[in-house]
Amino acid sequence: MNSISRVGEIRAVMARLRAHVRYHRSLFVAYFVLATSVAFFETAGIGLIIPMISLMGSAPEAVNGNPVIRYASRILPGRSASEYVWIFGLVIIAAIVTKNVLTVLNRYIMARLTCELTSSLRESFFDSLSRAHMDVFDTRNSGDILNAFGLEVGRTRNFVELLLILCQLGVVTAFYATGLFLLSWPFMVGVLLTVAIAGYINAVRFRRITVQSGLQVSSGRKLMGYLGDVFSGFRVVRGNGAESQCREGFMRRNDELIQYEERSAFVSGTLLPVTETVIVTGTILLLIQSNSWLIQTGRLSVEGLMTLGLGLVRMFPLVNQFYTLIGQALYYSGGVVELLRWLELPRFPEKPFGDATLGPVRQSIRIDHVTVEYPGGKKGIDDVSLEIPAGRTVALVGASGSGKTTLASVLLRLRAPSSGSIRVDGVDYWRYSPSSWHRSVRMVEQGAFLLNDSIRANILLGSPDATEEQLKAALSLAYLDPVIGSLPEGVDSPVGEGGALLSGGQRQRVSIARAMVQNPSVLILDEATSALDNVSEREVQLALDRVRVGRTVIVIAHRLRTVRDADLVVVLEQGRIVEQGTWNQLTQKQGKFSELVAASQLHQ
């Protein structure tokens, strides 16, 4: 594998990244135009130095073999050598000043382009996660996501910056090479062969850089994932005195990452010395041989050889830098590939939602032969059929892993059934728009999820357009009025990280208020009192009893005594419905439900 194939790898990454940078096309065009202009003025300015030097102390006709001097003599005839020297000097100064002005402007364009691209990538990343299947969040931890969101977005920005710099270097080098090729193509053929040999030698290092980049991405993902796990559960870590154990785990992963970073840095550091050594050696040999090949045969003048030397002095550092930057781009391309995996997550749902509006449920929610299959073939629920009458309370009970939460996720449209259908008042629930569905179907989760924001912001999460009257009604339904009245900032009081500034019961009532802001017709309760003490449970239960009135309620029950008053109790086992009926009917049958009741009483 040679360096050309490595450049091909960069092109392949660029092709995948293209869809995410198309909105910045005008900035890319402006950058390339400016890069070409910078290259033109630089080569023009440098190219006039030798003709200017050759005129010093000589008459113009004495060096009229130089095409640049002949051209100057035609457009400005009758000037002395010193006048031509001044003219060339002023043109060189003007060219270099113009080149530097354009360089500053080009760097501004590059900075603006990379900043806007970074912002767009973050937005695309967030949108990709927002649309992703729930399996992504079940299999990836928050540290893994944050690692890609921060580190890999940054590496992608660096990759794009390097590509822009490579583009400018490539244009400048091409200008120099073209001019020198026109001056002496045999000499430049030898130079290009030397550059190709350097590229071939570096190909092995390019391959190692690519491998090390992939290993570093994987190692960084492991480290950030571990940090996310440790600090999200740091109460447990500290409560069990496991800080030193976790530190050992961190150090082990950190040391692994450092090893890969050091290896990458070492391999990248060899690119410039190797390239420079090969190119300088080859060029010196070419210059020595050019005396017999070119000068003595009359193919090239001494002045021409000086021009070649000056051009090569300017061009070779660019070639060295070009190879070094290719190695760095290959290193950063691993981060781009990792980021693109996140940006190209399969969208959920695979088929689009409709635009119908869901109002209050009038008849029933009917579940017909619904199966949900997880990756790997495991079934969360298997051929479940159930009718939930409007305005009734249905309890889902069963052992852990029986399919209760999966069925609730399907009803919330967080997951799509693998087969079967769900109809609300005879209409496929997929036809309802997301906004109307989530306005009418709300959930109070077992562990209240709260942002590190105010109580108001947490209640209005998902309901940004709710009125003050709706907010007050939700606070009243959730029995939060006494809590709000006791806080110095009222409803605008902060809740802290994960709601740490509130009690468990208060957090749960905030969750209830959030569910009630839109006055939903269907309420899913994931046993909202199971993690509370007796006092908090009574407070939350009062709120739940109030919000259940007049609504279709689906209760995921862990404490079976909370479903005595349910209109229908559905018993799930291994994803299937094994029994259903009222509390009295099921206890009289002495079946699976009776076993669950007996087991719950035994553990009380």
- Please name the residues in contact with 435: beta carbons below 8 A apart, sequence gap of 6 or more: none
Distances (CA, A) of 15 to 3, 213, 339: 18, 19, 14
Residue whose C-alpha is closest to residue 48's, from 87, 99, 102: 87
> How would you label 460-475 residue by residue, b for 16+ Cβ within 10 Å and e otherwise?
bbebeebeeebbebbb
Residue whose C-alpha is closest to residue 518's, from 459, 466, 450, 458: 466
Per CATH, domain 364-602 is 3.90.330.10: no
Q: Given the structure tokens 């009758």, which residue do they identify? A: 78
Per CATH, domain 3-343 is 1.20.1560.10: yes
- Please name the residues in contact with 461: beta carbons below 8 A apart, sequence gap of 6 or more: 451, 514
Number of Cβ atoms within 10 Å of the Cβ of 597: 16
Confidence at residue 422, expressed as pLDDT on a 0 to 100 scale: 92
Q: Given the structure tokens 């005396």, which residue do they identify? A: 291
Quote the pTM value: 0.68
Confidence at residue 46, expressed as pLDDT on a 0 to 100 scale: 77
Residue whose C-alpha is closest to residue 511's, from 560, 467, 462, 553: 462
Name the stretches of the chain with pLDDT < 70.
1-11, 50, 54-73, 78, 204-206, 232-236, 238-240, 272, 289-305, 350-351, 528-537, 539, 600-604
Confidence at residue 423, expressed as pLDDT on a 0 to 100 scale: 93
Confidence at residue 7, expressed as pLDDT on a 0 to 100 scale: 56
Question: Terminus-to-terminus CA distance in the chain, angstroms?
Answer: 69
Ranges of CATH 1.20.1560.10 domains, the chain: 3-343
Residue whose C-alpha is closest to residue 585's, from 595, 594, 572: 594
Could you give the CA distance from residue 432 to residue 358 in angstroms, rounded to a whole number? 6
Confidence at residue 3, expressed as pLDDT on a 0 to 100 scale: 46
Residue whose C-alpha is closest to residue 89's, from 37, 45, 42, 40: 45
Could you give the CA distance from residue 548 to residue 444 in angstroms, rounded to a whole number? 12
Ranges of CATH 3.40.50.300 domains, the chain: 364-602
Confidence at residue 530, expressed as pLDDT on a 0 to 100 scale: 56
- Please name the residues in contact with 540: beta carbons below 8 A apart, sequence gap of 6 or more: 505, 508, 509, 512, 528, 529, 532
Confidence at residue 65, expressed as pLDDT on a 0 to 100 scale: 53
